[in-house]
Chains A and B, each alone.
Chain A
Amino acid sequence: MTFFAHLAFVHQSALDPAGEHARAIARLWDVFLGITTVIYVLVMIALVVGLLRKREGDASRNPRSTYVIVSIAGGLTVVILFGLLIASIFTGRAIAERPKNAIGITLRGKQWWWQVEYEAAHPSNRILSANELTIPVGVPVTLHLHSSDVIHSFWVPGLHGKRDLIPGHDGSITLLAEKPGVYRGQCAEFCGVQHAKMALWVNAVSPSDYARWADAERTPARAPQTEAEIAGQQVFLRAPCPLCHAIRGTDASGSTAPDLTHLATRRSLGAGALPNTREALGGWIVDAQRAKPGCQMPSINLRPDELSALVDYLGSLR
């Protein structure tokens, strides 16, 4: 329940734009809505007038006036549709601009989660994460979109329109958040059984907060401190976990599943399947197939004491 309450604060609406591009799209939507509403009302008025008007005799009918009215209506339709087309082309041009000095992030769509990799000249400065982007307010961010399995679609309605992630094809999209906030996104192209649970969050923060976050994210995982955390790390390394997951600073370096180096800072588990709490994390490890049937996380068989230590350790990875 708390999870849904928490979601209620998250922004996910194309009609309440928080970025330059989303505003251009929302403006186009307003233009379309306004014009089509006026036309709808006019057509309804014409219909009601036609229904109420008395039938006149054939003699009083003027074929010429009918011809003129139909021609004017047809001409207006062509002009209005052409105007809407032009408005849509200009919006398309406005949102397609690519600034040169943008922050580069590689976003890979997977069944069913998002792999996030902040690009950097030096490999040790790269940041690997999953299902969450943190971006500075007022700075353009270019996402390079890839897919390694099927077609996915990136859509954070508060910031921009949709862009498909197509296997074997490079795509990109530039975001510019204008006010701080959390903007939720969702895969917008059906991609398999768990398409619905493939969420993405964009945290827009001030540039100084962003720099602090990036520094923290680049550091290797926090070393286990308490006895339980040390035992938990041993469980992690002995169990099947490291074959798919990585925790920087340990021997675990699997790359087919989300990087867990700073797992405890994330909002959700399984790309929106569960909230990131201690209880949910335990449930997710032993029975992920219940929370997200068909996902690639297998259910792991652990003794209760092992599970408790493992959850302690993962919960400490801030």
Chain B
Amino acid sequence: MTSSDALPFAEADEYASRRKGLALKRRGPCPLAMTSSDALPIAEADEYANRREGLALKRRGPCPLAMRRVAVLLLVFLALGCKREQRQYRQPPPPTPVKDLRLGRLSPGPTPKIVGIRNPYQGNALAISEGKRLFGAYNCVGCHANGGGGMGPPLMDEKWIYGSEPQNIFATIVQGRPNGMPAFGDKIPDTQVWQLVAYVQSLSGNESALATNGRPDQMQVHRQDQSLPELPPRAAPAVHP
């Protein structure tokens, strides 16, 4: 039906009613010549006429529920998947939040308003996998293992000693923390720190499962990143030995 599918609606409808008339006539003696320029076999043309009628009826009623669901799902997928594969190799470094960071609630003068800073790489698959690579390359695994912890605290549980917000993690990497966490401030470019933040958040399931690795390339030391349970963060006191 490729030729008739391309007909504009008005023409197709007109054609359909003409065919119906023809079909009625055909109960009498069969017309030998088709006046229409379209060379459709008669059976097919009739089928088409019925389909057009059905469609026209349907179009008057509301959109069927199943179709609407599919459309909504597609939109949701599009919205969620939009930034997943975004690759921007040359973007200006994202803002550095260290200046605005407060670890305690007390401050002199008026209470500063703490503006939450979003990780620019949140939900970006490439950034998370780059963070994972850097986590090994910069030897974070030396103390934190692959998130399970060793000399350093585990990163795949719900306890966050120095805060779970992206800017807290950023500051922890950049400034260092007592009892062994080195300050990587001048040593890791800011863009890469943000990639590490995205990966560290994914370790406790606090990154979108749509963006995390489905199948890690390396030998697997823990479950696939996508299937890590989400552990809502809670503050934990630092342990001073």
- Give residues in A with beta carbon < 8 Å to B: 149, 238-240, 242-244, 256, 287, 289-290, 293-294, 296, 298-301
Whether B90 contacts A289 by the Cβ 8 Å rule is: yes
Known: A240-B188, A242-B187, A289-B89. 9 other contacts (CB 8 A): A238-B186, A243-B138, A243-B188, A289-B90, A290-B90, A293-B90, A294-B87, A298-B191, A298-B192
Kindly report which residue of chain B lies nearest to residue A168, judged by CB atoms.
Answer: B219
Chain A residues whose CB sits within 8 angstroms of the CB of B138 once the complex forms: 243
Whether B189 contacts A240 by the Cβ 8 Å rule is: yes
- Chain B, 178-216, contact with A by CB distance < 8 Å: what is the 0/1 string? 000000001111111000000000000000000000000
Whether A149 contacts B217 by the Cβ 8 Å rule is: yes
Chain B residues whose CB sits within 8 angstroms of the CB of A289 once the complex forms: 89-90
Kindly report which residue of chain A lies nearest to residue B217, judged by CB atoms.
Answer: A149
For residue A99, give the distance in angstroms from its CB to the closest CB of chain B: 35
Q: A240-B189, A256-B137 are in contact. Are A301 and B93 (CB under 8 A)?
A: yes
For residue B174, give the distance in angstroms from its CB to the closest CB of chain A: 12
Q: Whole-angstrom distance between the alpha carbons of A300 and B93 in the complex?
A: 10
Whether B189 contacts A298 by the Cβ 8 Å rule is: yes
For chain B, residues 57 to 110, give those with C-beta under 8 angstroms from any C-beta of chain A: 87, 89-90, 93
Whether A299 contacts B189 by the Cβ 8 Å rule is: yes
Q: Whole-angstrom distance between the alpha carbons of A21 and B121 in the complex?
A: 49
Kindly report which residue of chain B lies nearest to residue A294, judged by CB atoms.
Answer: B89
Give me the 4 closest cross-chain CB pairs, A-B, nearest first.
A293-B89, A289-B89, A298-B189, A289-B90
For residue B90, give the distance in angstroms from its CB to the closest CB of chain A: 5
- Give residues in B with beta carbon < 8 Å to A: 87, 89-90, 93, 133, 137-138, 186-192, 217
For residue A185, give the distance in angstroms from its CB to the closest CB of chain B: 25
Q: Whole-angstrom distance between the alpha carbons of A238 and B90 in the complex?
A: 23
Chain A residues whose CB sits within 8 angstroms of the CB of B187 once the complex forms: 239-240, 242-243
Chain B residues whose CB sits within 8 angstroms of the CB of A298 once the complex forms: 189, 191-192
Q: Whole-angstrom distance between the alpha carbons of A298 and B90 in the complex?
A: 9
Q: Whole-angstrom distance between the alpha carbons of A238 and B188 in the complex?
A: 11
Whether A300 contacts B189 by the Cβ 8 Å rule is: yes
Whether B186 contacts A239 by the Cβ 8 Å rule is: yes
Whether B90 contacts A299 by the Cβ 8 Å rule is: yes
Chain B residues whose CB sits within 8 angstroms of the CB of A149 once the complex forms: 217
Kindly report which residue of chain B lies nearest to residue A242, judged by CB atoms.
Answer: B187
Kindly report which residue of chain A lies nearest to residue B190, judged by CB atoms.
Answer: A301
Give 21 pairs: A residue, B residue, CB < 8 Å, sorted on A: A149-B217, A238-B186, A239-B186, A239-B187, A240-B186, A240-B187, A240-B189, A243-B137, A243-B138, A243-B187, A256-B137, A287-B90, A289-B89, A290-B90, A293-B89, A293-B90, A294-B87, A298-B192, A299-B90, A301-B93, A301-B189
Chain B residues whose CB sits within 8 angstroms of the CB of A290 once the complex forms: 90
Chain A residues whose CB sits within 8 angstroms of the CB of B186 once the complex forms: 238-240
For residue B116, give the distance in angstroms from its CB to the closest CB of chain A: 25
Chain A residues whose CB sits within 8 angstroms of the CB of B90 once the complex forms: 287, 289-290, 293, 299
Whether B137 contacts A244 by the Cβ 8 Å rule is: yes
Kindly report which residue of chain A lies nearest to residue B90, judged by CB atoms.
Answer: A289
Chain A residues whose CB sits within 8 angstroms of the CB of B191 once the complex forms: 298-299
Chain B residues whose CB sits within 8 angstroms of the CB of A243 once the complex forms: 137-138, 187-188
Q: Whole-angstrom distance between the alpha carbons of A20 and B191 in the complex?
A: 49
Q: Whole-angstrom distance between the alpha carbons of A251 and B43 in the complex?
A: 86
Chain A residues whose CB sits within 8 angstroms of the CB of B89 once the complex forms: 289, 293-294
Kindly report which residue of chain A lies nearest to residue B133, judged by CB atoms.
Answer: A296
Chain B residues whose CB sits within 8 angstroms of the CB of A294 once the complex forms: 87, 89
Kindly report which residue of chain B lies nearest to residue A240, judged by CB atoms.
Answer: B187
For residue B41, give the distance in angstroms from its CB to the closest CB of chain A: 40
Kindly report which residue of chain B lies nearest to residue A293, judged by CB atoms.
Answer: B89
Chain A residues whose CB sits within 8 angstroms of the CB of B93 once the complex forms: 301
Q: Whole-angstrom distance between the alpha carbons of A158 and B156 in the complex?
A: 51
Interface centre among A243, A293, A294, A300 (most CB of B within 10 A): A243
Q: Whole-angstrom distance between the alpha carbons of A149 and B137 in the complex?
A: 13
Q: Whole-angstrom distance between the alpha carbons of A10 and B90 in the complex?
A: 32
Kindly report which residue of chain A lies nearest to residue B219, judged by CB atoms.
Answer: A168
Kindly report which residue of chain A lies nearest to residue B195, judged by CB atoms.
Answer: A298
Q: Whole-angstrom distance between the alpha carbons of A13 and B189 in the complex?
A: 41
Chain B residues whose CB sits within 8 angstroms of the CB of A300 once the complex forms: 189
Chain A residues whose CB sits within 8 angstroms of the CB of B188 once the complex forms: 240, 243
Chain A residues whose CB sits within 8 angstroms of the CB of B87 once the complex forms: 294
Q: Whole-angstrom distance between the alpha carbons of A240 and B190 in the complex?
A: 11
Chain B residues whose CB sits within 8 angstroms of the CB of A256 once the complex forms: 137
Q: Whole-angstrom distance between the alpha carbons of A167 and B116 in the complex?
A: 42
Chain B residues whose CB sits within 8 angstroms of the CB of A239 once the complex forms: 186-187
Chain B residues whose CB sits within 8 angstroms of the CB of A240 once the complex forms: 186-189
Kindly report which residue of chain A lies nearest to residue B188, judged by CB atoms.
Answer: A240
Chain B residues whose CB sits within 8 angstroms of the CB of A244 once the complex forms: 137
Q: Whole-angstrom distance between the alpha carbons of A114 and B87 in the complex?
A: 25
Q: Whole-angstrom distance between the alpha carbons of A242 and B137 in the complex?
A: 12
For residue A38, give the distance in angstroms from its CB to the closest CB of chain B: 49
Kindly report which residue of chain A lies nearest to residue B130, judged by CB atoms.
Answer: A296
